[in-house]
Every structure is written in structure tokens, then in C-alpha cells.
Amino acid sequence: MRLFIDDGPAERVLALLDGDLNAPVLHDSPLTALGYAMPRHAPDTSIRIALALLRAGADPVNAGVEPSIFTRALASGLPELVLAVAEAGGAKGVKLTPAQRLMFASCRGDVKEVQQLLASGKLKATAFKGNTNGTGHEFITPLVAAARGGHTDVARALVAKGCPPTWGSGKWGPGGAPAYQAALFGHGDLARELGGVTDEVLARAAHKGGHVELARSFDPAIDARIRVASARVSPPADLIATWRRELAANRQPWPEWAALETIAAEDWTQDGFMLVHASRPLSVDRRPEKPANLRAWIAALTGLRPSRERTGHALFDSVGLGQVTRASESFWPDLGHVDEIPSGCHALTQTASGAPVLTRGDDVLVIQGREFVRLASFEVFVRYALHCALEGKDWSRDGVRTRFAYDRYELAELTLLD
């Protein structure tokens, strides 16, 4: 899984598949390797694994489960990936909606079809909303695809028919803006034409995409800025010792905490901000985010994962989002289904399906139907989640489904997360 998340090396993925290019890559799903590689989960993520699988002959149509490979590629809004799947035969026999046809035309720079699709007035220029990151990331529109592909005529046609040239800018930061995406993929003139993003931000986007000279054309001081930013985010060399001290300083009188301290004293290695246990299926993400409006000692447990891989669920990794209100619905769409969000709630973590787990005073709350219900006390829930992690289990998946330690931890409403 880590090879997929880090996008390679693609040769290692192909070697692990050992010729069975359409093998499922998840123990609980028939999703194929190519299906898992798409859609890419971030607009600027490399796609070399998916392209390597396509070149090697992976099935370009069947992902093992719905939707098809081509539909998944369209949802990414990445022209190179969409065209590669189409060239491999992935578009044959796939019935597209008008919105999907608009995205496909934008990816291949077909301005005539874009204009024809929009001419009737029945299809909006913003009709296709890619959901590679889930509901809320509606900025993956045909305009973003055109910006990434450098298709200026298509971009102008979409803007003329009502797609805002700054669509996505400000909602999730500047990364969603078409101009940012144009600069990221090396299309400086189109980035300038679309506008809505400062030259400094466009310079960072171009530099991130590897277009150094273009970045300097936006901001001559970009090299110095990048050096300063890199120095600021470089992990210190003593993260393991710091974590051990933090555990000792915030010690709680629980057997689970004592067990974690014992394990923390064992052999660990540091990989960037990630601490990895030498023999147990444990890792800890020690990025410098701190819990917001919660008990200070929870920081010592933040980022603990029941796996040595970078994927999977981490304990209390969403606490930095702070107070949860109706405005948080854009991050957690499940909040839109509840009738009322109790006041004074804060994010603690989330279930495997992405639904939020909230705290309010000493209570831990989860969604059941249209209501929030109490799952457990704060201490009981934290002890339960910690115990699951130390056993190599994901509390939100394995622990819940098997009723792991149900009686011991007194999770009266545990079945709500099944």
C-alpha cells in the first residue's frame, strides 16, 4: 500500500504483481491494482503507477468493482491519465453522461465538442464535479482539466459559459484554483490569463510541478522562499526521544499507557516525521500539529497507527480541526444528515468510512441516523482505541466489527459503528 501512496517505484509494484496485473490489492475488496491507483487523491500527485500498469497491459476497463477504470480516470480530472486510459481502450463501451462527455472533451482539448455540449444551455460548464477526495472537492471541473492540459481555447469557452475562472480558489486554499493548476502543470500563460491567484502562489505551484524557470518568471525570489520553507518543515533528528519524553511527561494511570511506554522504549526507526517500530505493526506520525481545545496529553497519542505502512487509520489525527459546527459539513458530508450538531463539539478522530467522532465535555459522540449519540466517556474511548492500536487493530474497522474488547471497555453503543 505504501508503494501506491508514494507513487512508486512503479517497477516495484509490477514486480510484486508478478505478471498478474489485474490482481486485487485489498484483502477485503476485488478492486484491481489499476483501480486502486485511480483516481489519484491529490490534484498534483504523480500518476506513474497507473501509467506503468496501463503500459504493461492491465485491464483498462474493469476495476474489479464499479465504477469503471475510465470513469475513475475522469473523476481525477488529469488529462494525461484520462487520455492514457482511452488510448488503452478503456473508453470503449462506457456510456458517458453529458457532464462526463464535457470532462472528456476538456481533457483532450476538443473545443468544438465543448462548445456543442454547452450550446443547448441544458448543461452547465460546472456540471462535472470530480469527487476524488469525496464530497466537497467540487473544484475538479472541466476548467481544471483544461488548465492542467494547457487547453486555452477550451478554458475560454468554459469561462464564457459561466464557469468562474477562480473556481475552487479559497475554499480549500489556492490549490483548487484553475490558475494554480495551470502553473503546476507548466502552463504559465494560461495561469496568468485565468488569474485570481497571486504571482507568489503561482511561483510555488510551478516550482512544485518542477517548472523552475516558470516559477522564477512569477517570482524571482522563489528559490530563497523554497529554501526557507524547506528548512522550516524539516523533521528534527530526535523525534523518537522527544516522543518518549512526551509519553513520560503526560503519563496516564492506565495499563494501556504503560504498555505503550514499554513499546516506545523498544527499537524504532525514524523516516521523516514517521516513527516505525522494528518488529511490531506500529508506526507514529509525528508531524508538528497539536490538538485543539482538547486535553493536552492527547498529543502524545496523536498519529499512532496500527500498521507500519503510511496508510490506514491514525489515532486522533483530526483534532487540529477544532470546533465542529454546521460549517464543517464541507469536510465531513455526513454532518449534513444530522438534524442538530450539539454545541461545544470538537473533532477527535473519524471512523474508517470518514464519519466524524466528536467530543463534548466528557462524552464521545458518533452519528446514528439523523442524530448524534453517546458512544463512551472520553477516557474509555481513548483507552479502547489505544488498546486496539497496540494489538495491531484499527479501532474503527477491525475492533468495531469484531466487537473487540466490548465488555472490558463498556462501549454500550458499539454496534452503531458496524
Tell me which of 39, 56, 87 is where a domain ends: 87
Q: Select, from the ranges 184-198, 220-234, 361-375, the one with the highest average predicted confidence (pLDDT).
A: 184-198
Structural contact between residues 409 and 298, judged by C-beta atoms closer than 8 angstroms:
no
Tell me which of 212, 231, 250 is where a domain ends: 231
Which pLDDT score is estimated for 169?
A: 59
**Are 303 and 334 part of one and the same domain?**
yes
Over range 191-210, report the average pLDDT.
92
pLDDT interval class at 216 (50, 70, 90): very high
Instruction: Look up residue 171 and give its amino acid.
Output: K
With 90 as the cut, is the pLDDT of residue 331 above it? no
**Are 291 and 387 part of one and the same domain?**
yes
**Are 51 and 165 part of one and the same domain?**
no
**Are 68 and 111 part of one and the same domain?**
no
pLDDT interval class at 13 (50, 70, 90): confident
How many CA atoms, within 13 angstroms, populate the side-chain half-sphere of residue 408? 11
Which pLDDT score is estimated for 120?
A: 84
Please report which residue ranges of 59-211 form alpha helices under DSSP H.
Answer: 69-76, 79-87, 98-108, 111-119, 142-149, 152-160, 178-184, 188-194, 199-208
**Are 385 and 401 part of one and the same domain?**
yes
With 90 as the cut, is the pLDDT of residue 148 above it? yes
The rounded Cα 113 to chain-centroid distance in angstroms is 32
The grid cell for 279 is 518488529
Q: Quick check: is 93 in a domain?
A: no
Q: Select, from the ranges 18-32, 45-59, 184-198, the one with the highest average predicted confidence (pLDDT).
A: 184-198
Strands 268-271 and 29-32: unpaired
**Are 195 and 294 part of one and the same domain?**
no
Instruction: Give the CATH number, domain containing residue 212.
Output: 1.25.40.20
Over range 144-156, report the average pLDDT.
95
Q: Quick check: is 341 in a domain?
A: yes
Of the listed ranges 38-42, 163-167, 226-230, 246-250, the one predicted with least confidence? 38-42
Q: Quick check: is 92 in a domain?
A: no
**Are 181 and 257 part of one and the same domain?**
no
Structural contact between residues 327 and 318, judged by C-beta atoms closer than 8 angstroms:
no
Q: How far apart are the first and last CA of the chain?
A: 24
With 50 as the cut, is the pLDDT of residue 306 above it? yes
Percent of the chain with pLDDT over 90: 36
**Are 207 and 303 part of one and the same domain?**
no
Q: Select, from the ranges 23-27, 135-139, 278-282, 287-291, the one with the highest average predicted confidence (pLDDT).
A: 278-282
Which pLDDT score is estimated for 368?
A: 80
Place of cell 481545545: 293
Residues 6+ apart with CB under 8 A from 187: 147, 148, 150
Tell me which of 169, 197, 231 is where a domain ends: 231
Which pLDDT score is estimated for 44?
A: 56
Which pLDDT score is estimated for 330?
A: 66
Give the domain range for residue 203.
98-231
Rounded to whole angstroms, the Cα distance separating 32 from 26 reads 8
Which pLDDT score is estimated for 412?
A: 46
Over range 116-144, report the average pLDDT.
73
Give helix 98-108 / helix 79-87 axis angle, nearest 10°. Answer: 100
**Are 223 and 115 part of one and the same domain?**
yes
Task: Work out the angle at residue 322's Cα, subtended by the Cα atoms of residues 316 and 327, and round it to the nearest 5 degrees.
Answer: 120
b/e code 326-361 from CB counts within 10 Å (16+ = b):
eebbebbebbeebeebeeebbbbbbbeeebbbbbbe
pLDDT interval class at 132 (50, 70, 90): very low
What's the total number of domains in the chain? Answer: 3
With 60 as the cut, is the pLDDT of residue 319 above it? no
**Are 368 and 253 part of one and the same domain?**
yes
